[in-house]
Structure 1
């Protein structure tokens, strides 16, 4: 796969001076700005943009009207319709034209407009009617990812209204099915305004955590993510009457295969992102666990060290994982099973071929009568290269709100639009400093998802500082 190395070298703070190579830029966030972004995020939440409800195009229309009102020309706003299972969804692309000075390639800004659906009966509030309680805004998508999407859009609008012109093109690329297939994401990576981007910044892959009193904020800059593949492991035989059991029972054979998958251990792997992560984890944990992490850094085949780190959650970044998630077998209570199928979902270390994982599963099962077949499409994606100049700019934007807070590159185990951009050679990095109280606020995809409003408003400063630092301009 092609990998390009990047070459370019409110607590709301009311006014911040930001030094850029060209000039000092002043960031001023007003009450009107906060009111606008609050209105926008509530509007976005009110659209039920889950698959099957057909609301993504309506949200695109609402955003388009706002971009037009902010001064963006019609020819700089394009929708990218995609039909999936008889339903139309779409992506949205908005070009903020630069002055053209310096002839630098565009920067893409990513977020997704869709959400995982919610069951209203399980929520304390209506998931699609935003409600403020105790400093939080409750609603589906409030944190994943309508906050990030709204903040990027609002910053483009604020700067456009203020008459700011970037030194290079900045391009919004909002997807419409990130949660269910990323078909719009793939279409966006091929859009003429997006495909030549020097790099992409993903509002769905940046952020941080802090204590409830706001202390100890830490942030991550996602530069890699595990990809995934789902496999169907199946057995079959002629079956028969349950009164006459036979030795080659399809369920028993499948059970043996599942136990083999349970015992499977993929090898320890490192890339430049995870190596740095593990060094920091080792230093933070210390003791026997920290020592074990350090031993794996020196020797990935150290079995005793692996046995220690397997007991902590931090270890999942070190290897591919596969786990059984669904079962289907038999057709009647008084008949021997003719078919038995297990679904196994794998989260794959970046750049590991899907076919290699499939072969590893088959070898571990060790029974040629058991089929191991790919269910749907397997996705392979590399890590983005370390880019210290960019990381320094991201840290500057984070420190505008959280002075001195650590912000380090990371690899995530979940999937985002970033995987599709990395697949086509566009290095992609998480951007954003939405600080959440963990684990209390970790509710994405779950019930009573919520957004800490004090952190949300601060993000107006982050994105303002970031865009001006990346693209200078007037």
Structure 2
């Protein structure tokens, strides 16, 4: 909180009687426990609106309503110690009345009106819980759909598509029609489900958007509600601006990307509502901008293609026996030796057009490794010595150069005084494009070198496809717009070492590219972990970049 905000809270704590009087002067009464929306100055009212989703205040009709504890203080006039809601409501109202248009967050510059509208949309989506355990993608889709309808989209062009047997896993489909119906549509794709977040583990409530220290914090702040919010905001702006694209612009906000082993919205849409996704090409998550440790922009990445995700279950059994009479073929010891061999093993070095372009671009901005990077890409066959040094220097480079398979889970034994009869392990592989699950399984078996260990692929296989082409039609608009917004920052093609919904759309014949224009910290920003965050500056800059990019693609011939 700013120093002025801290002073307001301190004043509230020192003089509760003054607080109650101030609330009354603002329009709150003991009869209706409400403050008129007209209270305070416009800048202050905007700040108060940003608290509507907190427990202390809510909006109904033309008033802000105080929570029960604040109302009790108003009704009885009694002193209430350590009442969080009263302190917060009073502090905000005093700030509105006394300090006028002072911003609620003084850490960031004043927002443009269009940015303020976007922030409200972003906050609403982020604060709609969409975890598998207790959230609802359907509610999030309905809320975003309502914003499109309010912008003037016909109801026929905005659909919330919900599987009959999964009522909370809804998806939003929308379209802005273009002038040339023969032109292949552009698809804006993002997922609105998020991974689980335990409130007790986080520094801040993961399902409340917090702006602090130049960052937005929340589950989904980046993955993937940042881009999902930008896509909705883009369609709203295009509609209100009266923009008529040459080609249709389709929007698909989907559920189930984070839990694809359970259910996936893109798979379901391709099967049940293919018209929602059919397009000439798609923009998706998968790559953003890179910042260094000092916050300087290093590169803007564009993802084309991704590795294949596959888990394998390993199992080893033997008769076991009493621990006082040990066997040489102890199942835990034998499995451990084989897993250690797999951990030490490097799959073959490989380059494809995307990864070759990636390392070529990285060489220009990494003087420390430039010689090795050039040696890596100079010949058809990668230089093994250079690759070894690069792999040791950067785990992402290592993962970009080859298939990787590592043990991630192990379980064995049934009693502390008995030899194990059964040991299982999970091996997680990220398979380089062009290789099959069966081929990788055979290589794992060779490395384990123990025919007693059974290897079973886990789950249905993910679709595989070659990387989509990085043609000038795709790259040129990105380079031109990025060059205007971030002069001198290189645009770097990448292959994702993780997995996105692009694996389904690419397989369906929709070339899908990961591009967000949002620059992230080198530590990953807590994505899938604690205290997920995105730089405020990065979000607003990425929004501007994507808006211009969508317009450029929409008018392309």
Pairwise TM-score range, normalised by the shorter structure:
0.7 to 0.9
Map of 2:342 onto structure 1 = 261
Residue 217 of structure 1, CA deviation? 4.6
State the Cα distance separating 1:163 from its structure 2 match.
1.6
The residue aligned with 2:391 is 310
Counterparts of residues 448-463 of structure 1 (less than 5 Å): 448-463=531-546
Closer, same or farther: CA 287–149 of 1 in aligned 2, 3 Å: closer
Query: Does 1:336 pair with 2:416?
Result: no
Instruction: Give, in whole Å, the separation in 2 of the partners of 1:324 and 1:211.
Output: 30
Partner of 2:483: 399
Answer whether contact 1:351 1:383 (CA < 8 A) is retained. no
| Deviation string, structure 1 residues 207-264 (Cα, Å, up to 9, x no partner) | 2133577644520111121121001111011222223222322212211221221132
In the alignment, the residues of structure 2 paired with residue 212 and residue 232 of structure 1 have an alpha-carbon distance, to the nearest angstrom, of: 38
Partner residue in 2 for 1:196 = 278
**Maintained 8 Å contact 1:167/1:472:** yes
**Match of residue 418, structure 1, among 488, 492, 502:** 502
Match of 1:91 in 2: 171
**Deviation digits for residues 253-308 of structure 1 (CA, Å, limit 9, x no counterpart):** 21122122113221111110001112233444456773366156526375434432
Alignment of 1:250 with 2:334, yes or no, is no
Aligned-residue CA RMSD in angstroms? Answer: 2.3
Matching residue within 119, 126, 129 for 2:205:
126
Paired residues of 1:108 and 1:170 also in contact (CA < 8 A): yes
Of residues 146, 149, 170 in structure 1, which corresponds to 2:225?
146
| Alignment match, 2:259 | 180
CA distance in 2, matches of 1:398, 1:356: 40
Select which of 107, 115, 118 maps to 2:186.
107
Structure 2: stretches of 5+ with no match in the other structure: 1-110
- Contact 2:217–2:534 under 8 Å retained in 1: yes
**Shift of residue 319 of structure 1?**
0.1
Kindly tell me: are residues 286 and 395 of structure 1, through their superposed partners in 2, closer, same or farther at Cα, counting changes over 3 Å? closer
Aligned residues between the structures:
440
Quick check: 430-439 or 208-217, which moved more?
208-217
The equivalences for 1:149-168 within 5 A come to: 149-168=228-247
More strand by share: 1
Q: After the TM superposition, which residues 6-405 of structure 1 pair with which residues of structure 2 at under 5 Å, given as runs? A: 31-82=112-163, 88-100=168-180, 103-181=182-260, 183-190=264-271, 191-202=273-284, 204-210=285-291, 215-286=296-367, 290-291=371-372, 294-295=375-376, 297-298=378-379, 300=381, 302-313=383-394, 314-379=397-462, 380-405=464-489
User: So what's the TM-score if we normalise by structure 2?
Assistant: 0.74
SS of the aligned residue for 1:310 comes to: helix
Classify 1:278/1:342 alpha carbon distance in 2 versus 1 (closer, same or farther; 3 Å). same
The equivalent position to 1:464 in structure 2, one of 547, 550, 555, is 547
Tell which deviates more after alignment, 161-170 or 145-154.
161-170
Distance 1:292 1:460, change over 3 A: closer
Asked if the contact 2:372–2:390 (Cα under 8 Å) also holds between the matched residues in 1, the reply is no
CA distance in 2, matches of 1:215, 1:258: 40
Against the structure 1 CA distance between its residues 210 and 46, is the aligned structure 2 distance closer, same or farther, given a 3 Å change threshold? same
Indicate the structure whose relative CO is greater, using CA pairs within 8 Å and at least 6 residues apart.
1
**Structure 1 residue 311, shift from structure 2 partner:** 1.0
Cα separation, partners in 2 of 1:350 and 1:281, compared to 1, 3 Å = same
Task: Indicate if the aligned counterparts of 2:301 and 2:493 stay in contact, CA closer than 8 A.
Answer: yes
Question: d(CA) in 1 for partners of 2:247 and 2:327?
Answer: 71
Query: Residue 430 of structure 1 corresponds to which residue in structure 2?
Result: 514
Q: Deviations over 1:302-354 (max 9, x none)?
A: 54344323312122201000000111001111222111011110111112111
When residues 165 and 287 of structure 1 are mapped into structure 2, their CA distance, relative to the original with a 3 A threshold, is: closer
Partners of 2:289 and 2:301 within 8 A in 1 = yes
Q: What's the secondary structure of 1:193's corresponding residue?
A: helix
Contact 1:296 1:306 survives alignment (8 Å): no
Instruction: Please give the alpha-carbon distance, in whole angstroms, between the structure 2 residues aligned to 1:218 and 1:289.
Output: 15
1:128 aligns to what SS in structure 2? Answer: coil
Seen in structure 2, the aligned counterparts of structure 1 residues 136 and 289 have a Cα distance that, compared at 3 Å, is closer
Q: Secondary structure at the match of 1:59?
A: helix
Please state whether the residue corresponding to 2:543 is helix, strand or coil: helix
Please identify the structure whose Cα radius of gyration is greater: 2
